[in-house]
Each structure stands twice: as C-alpha cells, then as structure tokens.
Amino acid sequence: MTLPRSSRRLHILRAALAVALAALVSCKGVEIMDTSGTTGGTVVRGGGTGTGTGSGGGATGGSVAAAMVGSWARVVTIAASDGTVYQSRTEWSFNADGTATRRVTAWNVTDGAYDTITASALWSTAGSTLTVTWLAPATGSFSLVWRVDGDVLTIGPDQFARVR
C-alpha cells in the first residue's frame, strides 16, 4: 500500500526532526555566518569583566549580558545511511530588553521538505548562568552555563555562531 503524498511528507518531516534532535544533543557544530573573514578575539565569560560584557534590566527582573545580545545560529547536517540528507538550523535572537526568540528549522534536504517551529521566551544571566523562561503557549524554563568567545556563543554543550 502506498501512502498519500501528504502522509509521506509528514513521515519524512518526523524522521528529519528526530534525527535533527538527536544530532543537536550530541554535536557541537558551528556554522560561521560572517563572510567578512573577521572574528573577534575577545573572550567573554558570563559574569566576567572583559570587553563586551555588561548588564541591563531584563524582562525577568534579572540582568542580561550585552555580549549575548544579537542573533546566533547553529546548523547540523546529517547524511543517513540511505543517502538522505537532513539539516537542522537553530537560531536564537537575544534582545537587550530580556526577550528572546528561538527558531528551529528541520529540513529533509534530499526531498526539499522542511518545518519551522518558533518559540518566545524571557532570558536573563547571573554570572555564568543563562536562564530562559518560555512564554505561552510553551511552558517551563532551563538554566545552562554560557560564554562568548569572539563570535561564538556556547550555551551548555552547544555552540552558535553570531549572525551578521
């Protein structure tokens, strides 16, 4: 029995999301988005006093680190044993007012099918700890260690490149 085309696409998207999520948990890939060829050499760690740090009032009542403000992306590409290529792109946008957006796009590159999920949040930092609290309809929060090394943001085990 052959599935209708829309059902096949749904199965492909589910498989792509599952593979992408597994890859995001296990990989530390960084895609450098800056085409100018320049990267910063300053290392900024949460709570540090080096160039690029700073804080201001966050929407959560905490402070936000100026070094994190901006957009950051992480791309993971996986080639399955059957030759199918999957790609996941996660982009965080951290705003100076303590709001944030996370956009995750999962692609089945081989078939051209993709899906995007966007979530809004509040964020704050306290020393080397980043706390993100999801806004409705999502719920919950998480806290992870963070740092900025030039144009690379590390949140927990994952690295993101600054989007220019």
Q: What gap in Å lies between CA 114 and CA 105, rounded to an integer?
A: 7
- Domain boundaries, given as residue ranges, for the chain: 5-162
Q: Which two tokens stand for residue 154?
A: 């590390």
pLDDT over threshold 50, residue 128: yes
Helix then strand then coil, in percent of the chain rounded to 5, is 15, 45, 40
Q: Model confidence over 19-75: pLDDT tens digits? A: 444 444 333 433 333 333 333 333 333 433 333 333 333 344 468 899 999 999 999
Return the CATH fold of 5-162: Lipocalin (2.40.128)
pLDDT attached to residue 63 = 82
Helix (H, G, I), strand (E, B) or coil at 95: coil
Q: Model confidence over 97-114: pLDDT tens digits? A: 999 999 999 999 999 999
Give the residue-averaged pLDDT of 140-156.
96
